[in-house]
Structure 1
Amino acid sequence: MRLREGLWWSALIAGIVAIAGYALSQLGTRNGGVRLPTSTFLERSGRVVSTRDFDGRVHIIGFFFSCCQASCPKICQAMQELQRQLRDTEVQLVLISVDPETDRPARLREVAASLRADPERWWFLTQVEPNSDQLFAWIEEGFGPAARPKQLSWYYAPQRGWDIAHSNRLFLLDRQGQIRDSELVVRLEGDGTPVFVVNEEAVNRLAEKARRLAGSPWFPVRWLPTLNVALNAISLVLLVCGFTAIRFRRVTWHRRCMLAAAAVSALFLASYVYYHWHVGHTRYPGEGWDRTVYLAILASHVILAAVLVLLVPSVLLLALRQRWATHRRLARCTLPIWLYVCLTGIVVYVLLYGLR
């Protein structure tokens, strides 16, 4: 029995160290929850707009340029559909030109008119003073590698309209100007000569997320991710204290710590459900293998958290009825799972939002 218990705890500790190490290695690489760096732009009306003007409203932001021969027309089509779906909300649509030398306000007014863009609900922005290097640096800092000029060489010069590479994603910002999610709204389809098409499912998902985010209360939801990770951390500390207390036969302190941990975890569950009811799913911003690792951690966290919903009340009920032998057997299984769920809750937060 002692050997099996020792192996169980060794596996838990090894898993905790590995997951915590991975989370720390990913700090600074996420753009989920990151506040946009300050910058100013010209709207097509000629009005100067600052990124600080984004505060107070939910925004959907994308990148394009008017001479684009590739995906830009489809990005504009996706934005048109979002304008239609979100016409009864206060969500602000924004397209930022990645070709500020060409796309001056007069040119942007022509594009907006052709798309029947609502001047109050759908902004078209360009730099006040064209400076592509500065623009791409701002995009890199706020959105990651979402736009860049294509590399030129002596044997290759891209045609006009194909000379700037940019993301086909639209980014969802909350009322605090922080990126909450993104969707790939344009994709390539077809064999031989593929063509760009609007990803209607992605557009619908983004519209629903924006609607829910715009309809969420201002103050409570704003702080819930930070509150949730704090509750997880408090639960983790209480569990460790409770375990230490029972090892030293401090039954009263053990009872207090475990009841407090159960209460804090219940509060976390209520807060978590409330947040995601209003905001929806927060998409992991990474791609490739690190996204796979994140999803594996998230899946294990969610599955074991669901198991805890049954285990924790059962352990507490056994203690209340003073069925100590059964209580101890079930607690030996419950405690490692509970610790793992608390820790991975913190890890998921770090991977999504970083330390802020």
Structure 2
Amino acid sequence: MAKKQSNYAYIGIAFSLLVFGIIFIPKIVDRVKVGDITRNESRSKKVLTNSDPVVADLMYLEINGVPKKVPPFSFVNQDGDVITNKDYEGKVYLVEFFFTTCGSICPRMNRNLVQIQNTFSDAEDFGVASFTINPEYDTQKVLKAYADNYRMTNPNWHLMTGDKEAIYALANIGFNIYAGENPNVEDGFEHSGNFALIDKNGFMRSRQDDFGNPKIFYKGIISEEEKEDEDGETQEISMLKADIAKLLKEDLVK
């Protein structure tokens, strides 16, 4: 009698396992497929995550569907050294076009850049590329004095001068930042007050606007302290700092 009861027990267990397999295993598989299970916290998952490149949630500026990369350039900096785009490889950096005799927006732009420089003073892979649009006046010696006056101390901050046409092509075509001569305006030159943000791999990056498109540039004139200008335009230096920090955490893809 005891033996027959034991057989019934085994049959009951087997039947329960069969029912469990039919009902619950497919559900578990489905949950794994959609990621609704704690394997995301497993050690194997952490290893895979750590092996994958870190990519910030910032958009790429695309031209005809292709991410826009910084074009080759070669100019002389404030120390008399030849600087090319390769000197910025592996670095997150900002780009501006300015001139030293500018009495309107350039001082405001560069005070903001110095403030950003000081925020990331410990980041060896952060830099700034400043291109003068008045290279005939802004010689290496003039740029050196300008850098000293504004306390531009970051070793990766290069104020560059060179062939005027090459600089204008780099601004208007290479970075899509307007720069040009205009004898009818004060100081004789016109240029954008925006900054371009470049990642470690040389691509132009930015966050998206309200329509899901890349903002492309960051306003460089209004300071954090001012908050907004007389036209109600809000400052974007805080936003820029946050995005620089994101890109500094990205991996360099070789």
Q: Same fold (TM over 0.5)?
A: yes
Alpha-carbon spacing, 1:214–1:110, altered in 2? closer, same or farther (3 Å): same
1 CA distance for matches of 2:193 and 2:114?
Answer: 15
**Cross-structure match for 1:57:** 91
> Deviating runs (4+, > 6 A) in structure 1?
none
Preserved contact between residue 195 and residue 218 of structure 2 (Cα < 8 Å): yes
**Residue 164 (structure 1) shift:** 1.2
CA deviation string 1:282-314 (max 9, x = no partner):
xxxxxxxxxxxxxxxxxxxxxxxxxxxxxxxxx
2:168 alignment partner in structure 1:
136
- 8 Å CA contact retained: 2:117, 2:154: no
1:96 match: 131
Do 1:91 and 1:211's aligned partners in 2 also have CA atoms closer than 8 Å? no
Report how far residue 158 of structure 1 moved. Answer: 3.1
Partner of 2:152: helix, strand, or coil?
coil
Relative contact order (alpha carbons < 8 A, sep ≥ 6): 1 or 2 greater? 2
Write the distance in 2 (CA, Å) between the matches of 1:91 and 1:174: 10
TM-score, normalised relative to structure 1? 0.46
Matches within 5 A, 1:206-355: 206-219=240-253
Return 5+ residue gaps in structure 1 as ranges.
1-26, 223-356
Distance 1:135 1:52 in 2: 17
Instruction: Compare the two structures and name the one with the higher strand fraction.
Output: 2
Looking at structure 2, the residues matched to 77 and 103 of structure 1 have their Cα atoms a distance apart, in angstroms, of 19
Give the structure 2 partner of residue 166 of structure 1.
191
**Measured at CA, do residues 73 and 105 of structure 1 come closer, stay the same or move farther in structure 2, by a change above 3 Å?**
same
1:109–1:101 distance in 2 versus 1, CA, 3 Å: same
1:245-295 CA distance string (max 9 Å, x none) = xxxxxxxxxxxxxxxxxxxxxxxxxxxxxxxxxxxxxxxxxxxxxxxxxxx
What are the equivalent positions in structure 2 for 1:180-219 lying under 5 Å apart?
Answer: 180-181=205-206, 182-187=217-222, 189-190=229-230, 201-219=235-253
Find the aligned partners of 2:91 and 2:147 in 1 and give their Cα distance: 21
User: What is aligned with 1:86?
Assistant: 120
Q: Measure, in 1, the Cα distance between the counterparts of 2:63 and 2:121.
A: 36
Question: Partners in 2 of 1:137 and 1:217 — Cα distance?
Answer: 30
Rounded Cα–Cα distance in structure 2 between residues aligned with 1:133 and 1:207: 32
Shift of 1:138: 2.1
- 1:121 corresponds, among 138, 145, 156, to 156
1:29 shift after superposition? 6.7
Q: What is the letter of the counterpart of residue 173 of structure 1?
A: I
Q: Secondary structure at the match of 1:171?
A: strand
Distance of 1:177 and 1:115 partners within structure 2: 27
Structure whose alpha-carbon radius of gyration is higher: 2
Note the alpha carbon deviations across 1:35-92, whole angstroms, 9 max, x for none.
1211101110000001122211111111110010210000111101101111122211
Q: Percent identity?
A: 20
| TM-score, length-scaled by structure 2 | 0.63
Paired position in structure 2 for 1:260 = none
Alignment check: 8 A CA contact 1:52 1:177 kept: no
Q: Please, which runs of 5 or more residues in structure 2 have no aligned partner?
A: 1-61, 207-216, 223-227
Task: Quote the Cα distance in structure 1 between the aligned partners of 2:177 and 2:96.
Answer: 13
User: Cα deviation per residue 1:91-113 (whole Å; 9 max; x = unaligned)?
Assistant: 11221111111111100111111
SS at match of 2:161: strand
SS, match of residue 158 in structure 2: strand
Aligned to 2:236, what secondary structure does the other structure show? helix
Instruction: Please give the alpha-carbon distance, in whole angstroms, between the structure 1 residues aligned to 2:126 and 2:154.
Output: 13
Whether the 8 Å contact between 1:148 and 1:166 is mirrored in structure 2 is yes
Given that residues 64 and 95 in structure 1 are in contact (C-alpha distance below 8 angstroms), is that contact kept between their aligned partners in structure 2? yes
Q: How many residues were matched structurally?
A: 178
1: CA distance, partners of 2:159 / 2:67: 24
Amino acid corresponding to residue 44 of structure 1 in structure 2: Q
- RMSD value, Cα: 2.6
Aligned partner of residue 113 in structure 1, secondary structure: helix
CA distance in 2, matches of 1:140, 1:190: 27
Given that residues 218 and 237 in structure 2 are in contact (C-alpha distance below 8 angstroms), is that contact kept between their aligned partners in structure 1? yes
- The SS at the match of 1:186 is coil
